[in-house]
Amino acid sequence: MNVLTSSRIAIDPAYVERLIMETAAFGAYGETGVWRTVYSPEWVGATDLYAKWCEEAGLAVTRDAVGNVWGRLEGSEGGKSIVSGSHIDTQRPGGRYDGTLGALAGLIAIKALKEQFGQPKRTLEALSLCEEEGSRFPGTNFWGSRGITGRIAPGDAEALKGYDDETMADAMLAIGLDPARIPEAKRDDIDAFIELHIEQGPILEQADLPVAIVDAITGIRHYDVLLTGVQNHAGGFPMDLRNDPAAGFAEIASGVINTAHRMGRPAVTTVGRIVPWPNLPAVIPREVRFTIDARHPNPEKRRELYAAHEGLMREVAARRGLGVSWEHHVEHEPCLSDPGLVKTFQQAAREQGVPFMTMPSGAGHDSQQMAAIARVCMIFIRSKDGRSHTPEEFSSMEDIVEGIRVLAAGLHALAY
């Protein structure tokens, strides 16, 4: 046991800012945006830099079969690893913080612990996950953490088509990764995974707090809905004789949004994608395709929410003489953080004098994948105006440094 207490942990704001800004240069989009999809040239540049910084910090660098970068600080007592990181890919465009901040935070925290406390008893690893956003290949979310947990099925890389019509396998081969070797990325020697991430919502800002300890990740389901009616001329067809899928869609969208609103926090339901066909002003559409993204961290409430949404879709379609069908391309059960880790990081925040709250995450995160093989916990950093997935996302350097101090203090408690 190192005699120094973790209350002495120092994090250099200038170093943190340099790492954030230099990483953001890879895929820079406008003044503050980043467009860095998995396996792109920008992504290769950012991961090379991450590996270089790990080496400079004295960590042993390895890259696995899906392109995750690991920086390992061996513990004197061996055993399973304590890992901290997040994903290094972005939305198109996203900002500088979503994902990237957590990958850098793991590296910065472990570097600080090594410099200030020497070798740990337990092995610590910093991790840059290759992909989480699904922004190049819809349906590939969590490619990095799914690789680590052995959840990428044979043939997935060949089957998954990107927005630009290439497959995941093509994209891997183009940068020298062999899709046949994906199973080698699997790990079974991780004890705990701690992910620092921006909040992506306004709750911390509203509460005037820099940091949260996350006790659960919400359950998510995406409905990809097809609502079909009868295409007709907008002028000639009386309202009472229409089978108008736009009318049905509007009623359904209003209804599901109101259902989540009335259920109250933390229920959320979003209709983000709407594609009518033929999408012309003077034509009653033949069909409307749309998505419903519906989330709740409580398994029972989540079932209630989904039952209400499905009941409304069936009722509106039947009443309006429309066809309705849906698929789920995204389905993630709620994920509870490990209660022991939650306590450890709450205590770490108290020791560091960092004011915090405990809250569930409304967004999905790599942690929910990692939970299949390890105990998990997350730390949230306050987001300006609650914004994310946009170039405007922003967290202050003060809040970021507070969060990394909490991360480092918790890792110290676990590993030293």
Contact residues toward a second copy (CB under 8 A) are 91, 199-203, 206, 218, 220, 222, 224, 230-241, 244, 246-247, 249-254, 257, 260-261, 265-276, 279-285, 288, 291, 293, 295, 330, 361-364, 383, 385-390
Nearer to a second copy, 257 or 372 (CB): 257
Q: Least CB distance from residue 119 to a second copy, whole Å?
A: 38
Q: Least CB distance from residue 297 to a second copy, whole Å?
A: 10
Q: Least CB distance from residue 286 to a second copy, whole Å?
A: 8
Nearer to a second copy, 153 or 241 (CB): 241
> Is 309 marked within a binding site?
no
> Is 412 marked within a binding site?
no
Nearer to a second copy, 73 or 253 (CB): 253
Nearer to a second copy, 70 or 223 (CB): 223
> Is 329 marked within a binding site?
no
Dist. CA 292–CA 24, nearest whole Å: 31
> Is 184 marked within a binding site?
no
Q: Least CB distance from residue 204 to a second copy, whole Å?
A: 10
Nearer to a second copy, 295 or 375 (CB): 295
> Is 389 marked within a binding site?
yes
- Dihedral, CA atoms, 409, 410, 412, 416, nearest 10 degrees? 150
Which residues, 6+ apart, have CB-to-CB distance to 215 below 8 Å?
336, 337, 342, 358, 359, 360
Q: Least CB distance from residue 94 to a second copy, whole Å?
A: 10
Per the annotation, binding residues for Zn(2+) are: 87, 98, 133, 197, 389
Per the annotation, binding residues are: 87, 98, 133, 197, 389
